[in-house]
Structure 1
């Protein structure tokens, strides 16, 4: 896949839509993508170009997009690759992001351009998610797997710059990375979870960059706000669930992640909850959609996607929803522990609605 400005804009458009409330902004993604072109030529390859034994590394951001102190420099992406390469004793054969999102899709781009390491047409998950363990391709519950995570973030001018290397189980090291993000001002970039290509084939969301391009192009092809929104609903085999004005909006940053919700009326009342990404939609005491189902808000005036970090009281939106079968999901979406964490953080039932997914 050729990476140029047009492709970057289409990937960012698709990424923020597939972010389903999280995954960062389209503007941040385009900025990161264009910055990578200044360093070199990021290259994207299909998985068939790699051997099963080649090592793939995940590049991602961890923390709260809404944190005022969040600070990342482009050079941080290169630094974490340097440290992880030294720890591994070899350069990775390819890089993947943790998830699809407006900015998170572009996690590997700068590191790819600087180091000449290709980006794989895959991600740990084909949508965005709140926990690092959810973007670990099922490694969180894989007994005996020991990971390496290298994190960096913070503004050196404010004495908040932190570099951190952790080795151990995925949940233990992921907890340390999130704590580092909080101390660094709210956000870090991470190189983590080296695995062979064979594992990626089985547990990752293979082909999700191609999917993101298709979604982005469909949205951009819309001539009006309504057409843009309908194009997204159609390509994801979903529907426009409701339209209306956001009421009762609430948000707090808790343990480095954005937790909140709001209500919306369209013939009946809808209650929508999020934890960075949209977690659930209920109406009349009935659960309609549950993460990792697709749920996303779109500005009724412009047709542009609105992440949870940009939701505001009184904003008029359309809510697009689709079954999780319309997304390319990674192995992390099949771990019960992640849904238990959502239940604890958001205070709503989750596991009972995802029994078709979770490991028994």
Structure 2
């Protein structure tokens, strides 16, 4: 067991911001939730091996389009309320929380409800990197005919009448779609708790140790920061085994919120040298990367764009035309994958939103 502290909050979100892949929530929101958690109680991070195989764990996640283009409100009590709603409607004992992904705020998603309800944070994730739909963080359950989930959510501005609270039961493929639509109605981003699962199941299907990977990456970045951006880049490359795909100037950013699909959808075009371009396709997060029309990166690879001057990982809404950037990638072979990556049913709506193939490149190697 590890008692998380303020340094861990900063490290988790610093590393999580790289795994955010252009989305993954909001950094300041993650800081606020993480610091609040460790202020009200001890936040206990435990490994799966410290729990019994039949212990039940749930996923804490934020749902919606994280580009900052919608009128959303999600407070700490929404994370707690969503978890409490699920616990109240579940016939069994919950021992702790995992997160669906790493990200700018999602790396601390489970910390506050764990602290408030005196439960634990479990060192496992639905995905090492951020992804556009909860289906990818469902541990391969999207099309499981036998598993019925329970999901709860809370969020939205009360003063405008957009606040929603709901509990839903059903097959993950359908409940995920309902919560995304509800997120849109609440303002575009809200808190959820979902998927009661056994520790035994998570050992086989989750990214085991996913929180620790983000914290260790963040620690390496924070240690290098006093020596400047070049030292930060060197630390990231060493820690992750990633690569620089290209450096250049942003010439287009078409990413915008699509109410029809409830995603931030579009692409970032980077001119790396005259007549040559990198195009990063985003559905909330970067899902594909092309060089002069040739696919050179594809989910579940980590695809991140950094500001070239500061080495800050950028969300899609922070990328401006004319900005000098570094396009970075970690090949999927460099980190553990969850079962959700392998499910074909997770991909069609994202492919339709972007108008490109993704799944056929997932296992092309």
**What TM-score range do you get, normalising by the shorter chain?**
over 0.9
State the partner residue of 1:41.
42
Shift of residue 193, structure 1, vs aligned partner:
0.6
1:247 aligns with 2:251: yes
Contact kept, 8 Å, 1:67 with 1:185, in 2: the verdict is no
Task: Single out whichever of 176-185 and 37-46 deviates more from structure 2.
Answer: 37-46
State the partner residue of 2:85.
83
Pick from 198, 201, 209 the counterpart of residue 200 of structure 2: 198
1:284 aligns with 2:292: yes
1:229 aligns with 2:229: no
Contact kept, 8 Å, 1:13 with 1:219, in 2: the verdict is yes
Q: Kindly report structure 1 stretches of 4+ aligned residues shifted beyond 3 Å.
A: none
Pick from 169, 173, 185 the counterpart of residue 187 of structure 2: 185
State the partner residue of 2:96.
94
State the partner residue of 1:152.
154
1:10-59 Cα shifts (integer Å, max 9, x gaps): 11101111112111232221111001123211111111111111101001
| CA distance in 1 between partners of 2:255 and 2:243 (Å) | 26
State the partner residue of 1:259.
265
| CA distance in 2 between partners of 1:272 and 1:77 (Å) | 31
Pick from 336, 339, 348 the counterpart of residue 331 of structure 1: 339
Pick from 307, 315, 318 the counterpart of residue 326 of structure 2: 318
1:62 aligns with 2:66: no
| CA distance in 1 between partners of 2:73 and 2:26 (Å) | 15
1:211 aligns with 2:213: yes
* TM-score, normalising length: structure 1: 0.96
Contact kept, 8 Å, 2:53 with 2:199, in 1: the verdict is yes
Contact kept, 8 Å, 2:255 with 2:268, in 1: the verdict is no
Secondary structure of the 2:269 match is strand
Secondary structure of the 1:8 match is helix
Shift of residue 265, structure 1, vs aligned partner:
1.8
| CA distance in 2 between partners of 1:280 and 1:345 (Å) | 13
1:175-229 Cα shifts (integer Å, max 9, x gaps): 1100110000111111101011111001011101111111111222222112212
- Point out where structure 1 has 5 or more consecutive residues left out of the alignment: none
- Point out where structure 2 has 5 or more consecutive residues left out of the alignment: none
Shift of residue 356, structure 1, vs aligned partner:
5.6
| CA distance in 2 between partners of 1:251 and 1:356 (Å) | 27
Between the two proteins, the alignment pairs up a number of residues equal to 357
State the partner residue of 2:316.
308
| CA distance in 2 between partners of 1:195 and 1:154 (Å) | 27
